Amino acid sequence: MTAPPRLPAPTRLILGPFNRVEGDLEVTLDVSEGVVQAAQVTAPLFRGFETILAGRAPADALVVAPRVCGICSVSQSAAAAGALARLAGIEAPPNGRLAADLVLACENLADHVTHFALFFMPDFARAAYAGRPWHATVRERYAAGRGRSQQRLVAARARLLHLLGLLAGKWPHSLALQPGGTTRAVDGGERIRLMGILAEFRECLEEVLFAGPLDEVAALDSPAALARWADAAPDSRGDFRLFLAIARDLELDRLGRGPAAFLSHGGFGLWPAGTLMDGIGGPLDTAQMREDPAHSWMAGPPAHPADGTTVPDADKPGAYSWCKAPRLAGRPAEVGALARHAVAGDPLARGLVGNGGGSVRDRVVMRLVEAARLLIAMEGWVRRLTPGEPFCHDAPLPEDGAAAGLVEAARGALGHWLTVRRGVIHNYQIVAPTTWNFSPRDQDGQPGPLEQALAGTPVQPGEDTPLAVQHVVRSFDPCMACTVH
Amino acid sequence: MAHPDAPPFSVLWLQAGSCGGCTMSALAADDVGLVRALGRFGARLLWHPSLSEESGAAALTLLEDAAAGRRPVDALCVEGAVLTGPAGSGRFQMLSGSGRPMAYWVESIARQARYVLAVGSCAAYGGIAAAEGAATGAVGLQYLDGGAGGLLGGEFRSAGGLPVINVAGCAPHPGWLLETLAALALGEGESLALDSLGRPRAFADHLAHHGCGRNEFYEFKASAARPSDRGCLMENLGCKATQAPGDCNLRRWNAYGSCTDGGFTCIGCTMPGFQDPGAPFQQTPKLAGIPVGLPLDMPKAWFVALAALSKSATPPRVRVNAHADHVIVPPARKPPKQP
């Protein structure tokens, strides 16, 4: 009898503080033979917003919920206002709808640019990549805190947020989004100013990111068209093209494959809600959602968010994250810009993922393509604002009822589930985009999307915080503040 | 501005139990972002969780050096409340990769740093993280709500001799933070004036009400009744701007706005305990029809008498416009002189 060959015991790496993600993240890796064998994703912060919301007047959610996250503040506002609007059975007037869409799209657009410039690209400026043909260019443009493009984009982002100063009073944490519409009407001059703000941001994107017309990027309709666009100019012409060159060189299209399951709540009337499972599109049945706390420091059985609870249990055996594990009909699913477009049947996104899951490259590509598309849509919405027409309807709330507010934040599907009894919030449950993407294992032991995406990631000898792992993690644009709340 | 040969003023930033919103606000500072805006005053970020290159082991080494005093920190900025639970263990927030609670890191580095800044109302007073219903043991650095104590205790003074500097607000205006850090970087820490709750007087000596674009409606008590109305937000919609410290309406937020200019009520986010107002945020509690939250330093009887008088003198223009989201009746014009 010969003993079976013994594999070397895996080395355990604990990664943290994991910076340039929004909020707190710890990743534990079991590494052997130069690749990640298994990953555990830990959200190490719990603040308890769902219990803070309980017992308050329903409209107080408009103050409390945005403060779940200062990055996705407007998205949280929009979900809360959406849930309250459904509770009141009211719709905003056309101006209010347009203004609310502008406010949310502005945050999403700013977030996409922030992610690219501040969180994702600086990793390619690291000394470990010295010698790559693109390294000097990236270093000059995206070195953390110094890169020229980074500074340009951060400044342009600040000036894009002027739109929120005008339409939402300030950012983050505004009360402008109400169930009946928005609180800030605009006059004729202000409408023109909004156009000016968007025009300035377009100039910056066309110069720094795309080195050409935004509309060409927005119209890309297949991986082949993307490749043709990339090949039409030298690699250093525009930072999107620079990224595509890096992606080719480092094979980022093979890195960080997530599950072949995507979902979207649908955004702005532009991109419909739905799912894409193993390459097959379908409707989104939110009744099939469950939050599973099997490996969370949370008590209770798996439950639909409308019936969910938030009971921390810091000593629970087998638990390793404050994050619960959302599942759709038992499956983990990836959310975000890639999911939004793949679900909507966009030919570029569908072409990128095929019947499988998304990669590091796919996520970044669709974020930037979406940025172009969003800006064009926003330009149209501003033109349709009609000064003098109402922005907000009254929205008296009933004493009892239940409703959900489902939106697409920059990072994907965000849902608020609200139950009101005798005029106060009885239960409030939030499932955020990164709750989906960075969920821990469920009761069946299925890893969450990032945990799946990390398996197989190469680790170079001597790396304590493997670079490829950092690319995979950051490609999701995680928002850990939202994740656990 | 700073002397070219002076060593940079080093700023270390930690995110405790936070939403990240104070960082996001600061990222729009002076329309160029925190890093460049600070650089103009000779200040440099030693490490920031959202902005720096160092991750993992490299970041941890830096924090260990700061906690041990091996790496000088001129200003420690803490964003977010410190979570001391469950049962005093601090396990509601572990600093990832370190095996220790964030409370440990905040306290250790605060005891070494020259100045300690609480960025935002959570770090200052507990804020929304310490709201009723939270069970995380959230505290501010030197306060819990309006009471001295918090993580570091009421007697705490940083190496530079100051208590925790409370750049309150949810989120604070990026200017409040930048101007405070710039003053410290310029060596003006000794003359930095703080109010009784640790807030820089530069912004806390004003009220959010000062410069409010709705002042004419306030004068005539022509009040908004519902969201998007142009009228004064105080009588019905819960506005606390006449009590809330801040030059919110004397400067602009994101170039064009402020809460009241954005059409919504001031919730008093620079005040300790703002998170639990005892009534819905967007409703003014009243006694016998009179708002209970009147300006703090005005005799109530006078306020009521003046309000009654001004209401009876309200021009129709103001009364009509108060209940619309745009100007219905423009101001009267003198008829042009006949030649």
CATH code for the domain of B51: 3.40.50.700
Q: What's the 3-state SS for B289-329?
A: CEECCCCCCCCHHHHHHHHHHHHHCCCHHHHHHHCCCCCCC
In a shared domain, residues B232 and B173: no
Whether B333 is in a domain gets the answer no
Identify which of A100, A140, A98, A94 has the alpha carbon closest to the alpha carbon of residue A121: A140
Tokens matching residue B233: 């937000």
In a shared domain, residues B63 and B146: yes
In a shared domain, residues B128 and B213: no
In angstroms, what separates the C-alpha of B338 from chain A's closest C-alpha? Answer: 32
In a shared domain, residues B144 and B249: no
In angstroms, what separates the C-alpha of B189 from chain A's closest C-alpha? Answer: 26
Whether B337 is in a domain gets the answer no
Whether A112 is in a domain gets the answer yes
Closest CA in chain B for residue A20? B50
| Residue B334 identity | K
Whether B95 is in a domain gets the answer yes
Euclidean distance between CA atoms A351 and A346, whole angstroms: 8
Of B45, B56, B227, the CB nearest to A178: B227
Whether B84 is in a domain gets the answer yes
Of B136, B227, B326, the CB nearest to A183: B227
In a shared domain, residues B152 and B274: no
Using alpha carbons, list the distances in angstroms from residue A264 to A7, A155, A345, A350: 41, 31, 12, 14
Whether A247 is in a domain gets the answer yes
In a shared domain, residues B265 and B172: no
**What pLDDT does residue A1 have?**
46
Whether A239 is in a domain gets the answer yes
CATH code for the domain of A168: 1.10.645.10
In a shared domain, residues B198 and B237: no
Across the range B56-66, mean pLDDT stands at 96
For residue B3, pLDDT beyond 70: no
Tokens matching residue B309: 């008088």
Euclidean distance between CA atoms A440 and B243, whole angstroms: 45
Euclidean distance between CA atoms A161 and A6, whole angstroms: 57
In a shared domain, residues B159 and B289: no
Query: Are residues B262 and A174, on separate chains, in Cβ contact within 8 Å?
Result: yes
In angstroms, what separates the C-alpha of B226 from chain A's closest C-alpha? Answer: 7
Identify which of A463, A441, A464, A460 has the alpha carbon closest to the alpha carbon of residue A451: A441
Identify which of A31, A46, A26 has the alpha carbon closest to the alpha carbon of residue A461: A31
CATH code for the domain of B263: 4.10.480.10
DSSP alpha helix (H) spans, chain B: 21-26, 34-39, 56-67, 102-110, 121-125, 174-185, 201-204, 215-219, 300-312, 316-322
Select from B153, B185, B204 the last residue of a domain. Answer: B204
In tens digits, chain A (485 residues) has pLDDT values of: 455 666 667 899 999 999 999 899 999 999 999 999 999 999 999 999 999 999 999 999 999 999 999 999 999 999 999 999 999 999 999 999 999 999 999 999 999 999 999 999 999 999 999 999 999 999 999 999 999 999 999 999 999 999 999 999 999 999 999 999 999 999 999 999 999 999 999 999 999 999 999 999 999 999 999 999 999 999 999 999 999 999 999 999 999 999 999 999 999 999 999 999 999 999 999 999 999 999 999 999 999 999 999 999 999 999 999 999 999 999 999 999 999 999 999 999 999 999 999 999 999 999 999 999 999 999 999 999 999 999 999 999 999 999 999 999 999 999 999 999 999 999 999 999 999 999 999 999 999 999 999 999 999 999 999 999 999 999 999 999 999 99
Euclidean distance between CA atoms B58 and B38, whole angstroms: 23
Query: Are residues B96 and A25, on separate chains, in Cβ contact within 8 Å?
Result: yes
Of A24, A154, A178, the CB nearest to B93: A24
Domain that holds residue A156: 81-256+359-394
Select from B181, B204, B227 the last residue of a domain. Answer: B204
Whether B336 is in a domain gets the answer no
**DSSP 3-state assignment of A277?**
strand
**What pLDDT does residue A429 have?**
98
**What pLDDT does residue A9 have?**
79
In a shared domain, residues B244 and B160: no
In a shared domain, residues B224 and B235: yes
Using alpha carbons, list the distances in angstroms from residue B87 to A89, A309, A310, B158: 43, 21, 18, 27
Whether A177 is in a domain gets the answer yes
Whether B176 is in a domain gets the answer yes
In angstroms, what separates the C-alpha of A448 from chain B's closest C-alpha? Answer: 19
Closest CA in chain A for residue B229? A183
Confidence band (pLDDT; 50, 70, 90) for B1?
very low
In a shared domain, residues B263 and B292: yes
Whether A380 is in a domain gets the answer yes
Chain A residues with CB-CB distance to B60 below 8 A: 16-17
Interface-testing mutation among A19, A108, A411, with chain B (most B C-beta atoms within 10 A)? A19
Domain that holds residue B79: 9-204
Number of domains in chain A: 1
Supply the ipTM of this predicted assembly.
Answer: 0.96
Confidence band (pLDDT; 50, 70, 90) for B337?
confident
Whether A231 is in a domain gets the answer yes
Q: How many CB pairs under 8 A join A and B?
A: 282
Query: Are residues B50 and A51, on separate chains, in Cβ contact within 8 Å?
Result: no
Confidence band (pLDDT; 50, 70, 90) for B6?
low
Select from B149, B176, B204 the last residue of a domain. Answer: B204
Which DSSP category does B137 fall into?
-
Query: Are residues A169 and B260, on separate chains, in Cβ contact within 8 Å?
Result: yes
Whether A144 is in a domain gets the answer yes
**DSSP 3-state assignment of B199?**
coil
Euclidean distance between CA atoms B228 and A391, whole angstroms: 7
Of B53, B92, B227, the CB nearest to A122: B53
In a shared domain, residues B32 and B172: yes
Q: Say if CB A161 and CB A262 are below 8 A apart.
A: no
Query: Are residues A44 and B281, on separate chains, in Cβ contact within 8 Å?
Result: no
Could you tell me which residues are beta bridge partners of residue B100?
B95
Number of domains in chain B: 2
Query: Are residues B254 and A178, on separate chains, in Cβ contact within 8 Å?
Result: no
Whether B339 is in a domain gets the answer no
Whether B213 is in a domain gets the answer yes
**What pLDDT does residue B304 have?**
87
